[in-house]
A and B are shown apart, each in its own frame.
Chain A
């Protein structure tokens, strides 16, 4: 059963703590992406990776970090430097040129 999995679905953290969100895909896609969605808003790109061991900042990378050590995995760390971390985080992947992006189910992070 191919797809993108994100875990956990809900995550709660105290302010000042770093937290890592998991994203795994078994679609053999080269490119992976992280987006942030705030209530009633569109999606904003945090980071993306087109190939293993390489990643680029998106529009709102400040306060976030990523790694891409394996093709299947692209974890996102929300650091304590992120001023407003409470949001719905979406991971996506794409097989390459001319192909759309496919999204995981999302992780809702709440920081108090």
Chain B
């Protein structure tokens, strides 16, 4: 059972555009929602994260929007750059279950120059 659903599977954006990746979850016990960026052949790197009591978090060009009532959250990449081309994973974590992460299926982003 996939507890975190991520869309789209792939995304092509022009340089300077906005990339938007969406995730939806089912388990209301999730406590923390990180996003990871993964380049080919590398391990995922923690990009930005949000707690469910916050509706938005911004770090540079990256913003997480969180809608607790809809059980949805999204990553916005402003002024997208070719160097942002990577696979992005949303995830959800439960503190009282050993900090277990449940991952979305991933979005492969390509930013065209």
Contacts and interface: CB of A to CB of B under 8 A. Distances in A.
Q: Which 6 A-B pairs have the closest CB atoms?
A: A103-B43, A42-B103, A42-B105, A43-B103, A100-B34, A100-B46
14 contacts: A40-B106, A43-B101, A48-B100, A90-B44, A92-B43, A98-B95, A100-B32, A100-B46, A101-B34, A103-B36, A103-B43, A103-B45, A104-B43, A106-B42
A31 B101 CA distance: 12
Which interface residue of A33, A41, A42, A97 has the most chain B CB atoms within 10 A?
A42
Interface string A61-103: 0000000000000000000000000000010101011111111
B42 A100 contact: no
Interface string B62-75: 00000000000000
Contact of B98 (A6, A31, A42): A31
Interface string B18-62: 000000000000011010100001111110010000000000000
Contact of B31 (A31, A98, A106): A98
SS class, residues of chain A in contact with chain B: strand
Contacts of B43: 4, 6, 90, 92, 103-106
A98 to B, nearest CB: 6
Q: Select the residue from A4, A6, A45 with max chain B CB neighbours within 10 A.
A: A45
